Chains A and B, each alone.
Chain A
Amino acid sequence: MHSHGGGGGAESLFFIPAVAALVAYWAGAMSPRSGRWPWYRTVFFTAGVAAVLVTVLNPLAQLAHRDFAVLSVTHLLAGMLSPLLLVLSRPFTLALRTLDVFPARRLSRLLRSRFVRFLSFPVTAAVLNTGGMILMFRTGLLTAMQESMPVHWLVTFHLLAAGYLFTASVIGRDPSPHRASYRLRAVVLVLSIAAHNILAKTIYADPPAGIPAAAAEQGALVMYYGGGVLELALIILLCRQWYASARPRGRAASVDRQQ
């Protein structure tokens, strides 16, 4: 149906960065400096890397080219599930704890830089995340992705990076010098979910160029309901953070009858 650039086997090169990331994280988690790093964070990181890796490997990559509903599934994996798992694994906390002093200082300076602060501001992150999604479905990008594997890879990278930024800006617990208020994060999250809902319904109503109506309807349902589950997880995590931060402290807490 579509010709593929990139040739067979090129996608196995993606194992290199994936394995490198896993080895680095595992080494950090097992090092004594990590201070009893919780095992579930290592599981989150491993699952997060696996979730994005499967979207660029066959058979999923080939299927996604043929079937719009499968493409929607790969976007949920690369743009929502993988970023959520990676953010929960707190890679920057681990790196700052386990790196040597100089690289750790350099990383911490980078995290405090104006550029990173700008990118990780919830509004910027949400615009990058939602804007990329709208461009993908409403311009020629979707057709280009189906005709050329490298374009598909670039888009997947953008989905992962923008998804990570957005997720981290809303529910991230890695060190961040100017974490936005709960109110702003909640507003940005609700508006992003709304944009996702609206785009899914417009894809249902008005299929993107080159996508048959039946496939567009299926893909839109995957996007709406599959995305909904992950969005609900973000809402719960954000509210739980607020709940933990607003707990009674000090004397009042120690005499709390519910203890």
Chain B
Amino acid sequence: MSAPLRPRRSPRRRNLVSGLLFGIGLAAFVDEVVFHQLLQWHHFYDRSTTSVGLLSDGLFHAFGWFAAVAGLFLFADLRRWHEALLQRWTGGVLLGAGVFQLYDGTVQHKLLGLHQIRYEVDLLVYDTVWNAVAVLLVLAGAWLTYRTRAAVPQEQADA
């Protein structure tokens, strides 16, 4: 009945892309709101920041905002077409957030010296927890994505 009139690309891929985008956006949002604004652990600028660090940070924050909004609109579109695959989408969110956090915690904080997680504390503990959480997110996301590799939207399964 409500089958779309025009063919659409794979719902599996669309759910994953939407989740990945929203996950990246969510991690960027948490980074800005929680660590920069609420806790004020992160610094806006740190004298040791390299110019590549500024470039990477500027790009990632710009893309992060876009990804959060675009991921949600894509998800609304999937719902509208009755194509949402909640588990697969969640897998994408965890994977996107984990990859962003891992990149932030290794390349941006350490390699490019953007800023540290917190100042005047034993950084090793913070870095370990930060990156361990990132790895757990990536693993959980990868597992969910793998598990749903053959998932089909409810409606099409019924038909």
Query: A240 interface residue, CB < 8 Å from B?
Result: yes
Q: How far is the CA of A224 from the CA of B82 in the complex (A)?
A: 39
Given the known inter-chain contacts A240-B73, A242-B73, A255-B2, please indicate yes or no for A248 contacting B81, CB distance below 8 A: yes
Given the known inter-chain contacts A198-B55, A252-B5, please indicate yes or no for A239 contacting B81, CB distance below 8 A: no
Known: A201-B54, A239-B73. 20 other contacts (CB 8 A): A190-B62, A190-B66, A198-B57, A198-B58, A201-B58, A202-B54, A204-B44, A205-B45, A205-B47, A232-B69, A235-B70, A239-B69, A240-B73, A247-B80, A248-B4, A252-B4, A255-B2, A256-B2, A256-B80, A257-B2
Query: B124 interface residue, CB < 8 Å from A?
Result: no
Using CB atoms and an 8 Å cutoff, list the residues of chain B in contact with chain A: 1-5, 44-45, 47, 49, 54-55, 57-59, 61-63, 65-66, 69-70, 73, 76-77, 80-82
Is B57 a contact partner of A235 (Cβ separation < 8 A)? no
Report, as a range, how many residues of chain A touch the other chain.
35 or more
A residues less than 8 Å from B69 (CB atoms): 232, 235-236, 239
Q: How far is the CA of A250 from the CA of B69 in the complex (A)?
A: 27
Q: Which residue of B lies closest to A200 (CB)?
A: B58
Q: How far is the CA of A235 from the CA of B76 in the complex (A)?
A: 16
Q: How far is the CA of A249 from the CA of B66 in the complex (A)?
A: 26
Name B's interface SS.
helix
Q: How far is the CA of A242 from the CA of B73 in the complex (A)?
A: 9
* Contacting residue for B70 out of A239, A246, A248, CB 8 A: A239
Name A's interface SS.
helix
A residues less than 8 Å from B1 (CB atoms): 255
Is B44 a contact partner of A221 (Cβ separation < 8 A)? yes
Is B5 a contact partner of A250 (Cβ separation < 8 A)? yes
A residues less than 8 Å from B61 (CB atoms): 193-194, 197
Q: Which residue of A lies closest to B67 (CB)?
A: A190
A residues less than 8 Å from B73 (CB atoms): 239-240, 242-243
Is A201 a contact partner of B66 (Cβ separation < 8 A)? no
Is A243 a contact partner of B58 (Cβ separation < 8 A)? no
CB-defined A-B contacts under 8 Å, sample of 10: A186-B66, A190-B66, A193-B62, A198-B54, A201-B44, A201-B54, A201-B57, A205-B49, A235-B69, A239-B70
Within 8 A of B (CB), among A226-244: 228, 231-232, 235-236, 239-240, 242-243
